[in-house]
Amino acid sequence: MDRREPGMSRRDILLLLAVAVVWGINFAVIKTGLRSVPPLFLVFLRYLFVIFPLVFFVKRPSVSWRAMAAYGLSIGVGQFSLLFYSIRIGMPAGLASVVMQSQAIFTLVLSAMFMRERVGGTRISGMGLAIVGLGLIGGFFGTEATAVPPAAFLTSLLAAFFWSCANIIVKRASDESARNGKPLNMMEMLVWSSIFVPLPMLCISLVGDGPDAILQSLTQIDATAVFSVLYLVILSTLFAYYVWNRMIGIYSAGRVAPFSLLVPVTGLLSAMLIHGERVTSSQWAGIAAVLAGLAVFQFGERLPGASRFGKNR
């Protein structure tokens, strides 16, 4: 008998929409928090409060300490420290939400290189379109002036690369967990991998931010800083990751993944509303190209004839 996937309830659709909004607004909240907290120290605070007290209540995942350390360092020390720093040195929060989606491209390349995964022609086409869009956002094509400093753009792009590294680590950790007879629980992975982040981030912050900046942020802490940390910990990390992975557990990843395309949309809108960010016409063209490329990348091989196109490449 053919088993059909259950239809998505209205409640679950609303929860996934809420996750997309939370993750989109997250970029504007980061920019707000950076007004009173140094970027590297803000990453330290985020992970410190993810660990305590959850590490005492969440079971350890059935993967090696090495896998947990690799994931925590890739996401925390790699992705978020670079993302926060890029916004601090001039990367617009809204555009950062778009550029970070390039992790899908890096993940595809790394999967092909290290996991021998086949790359279809449709995905290559989507990847090419997204790369052109990133070039427009970064101001590498055309003559229109861009407000994005090259160092900030490249730093955010490097943050997306570390996100893709974490994706590969999760794939391998999932295989390891399956060999141990238990599917990988991403909430357990998130909490326990976080224990490897605070200490190195504190050391990096002392060097990069400086003791004076850290002390000033602690002695002159305000409601904005507290709100930013609470948002990053409770909503962006714990709530969003729990709902997202719970939905993937109920439905297929293919049913849940399309909601991620709403993240850069809400990221752009929230940055424009909260921080008054402006986007040039060439950057809008780049945003459209990136979103179109991601859509082709995500769904293109499901279209009629796509598999034949991929084989003919």
Which distant-in-sequence residues (6+ apart) come within 8 Å of 118 by Cβ?
Answer: 112
Q: Please answer whether residues 38 and 217 qualify as being in contact, where contact means their C-beta atoms are separated by less than 8 angstroms.
A: yes
pTM: 0.87
- Structure letter (DSSP) for residue 303: S
User: pLDDT (tens digit, 9 = 90+) per residue, 144-173?
Assistant: 555 688 999 999 999 999 999 998 998 888
Element (H, E) at 227: helix 223-230
Answer whether 205's CB lies under 8 Å from 40's CB: yes
Q: What would the two tokens of residue 111 be? A: 């999967």
Helix, strand, coil percentages (3-state) for the chain, rounded to 5, are 80, 0, 20
Q: How large a percentage of the chain has pLDDT more than 70?
A: 90
pLDDT tens sequence across 62-94: 899 999 999 999 999 999 999 999 999 999 999
The answer to whether residue 135 scores a pLDDT higher than 90 is no
pLDDT band at 312 (very low <50, low <70, confident <90, very high): very low
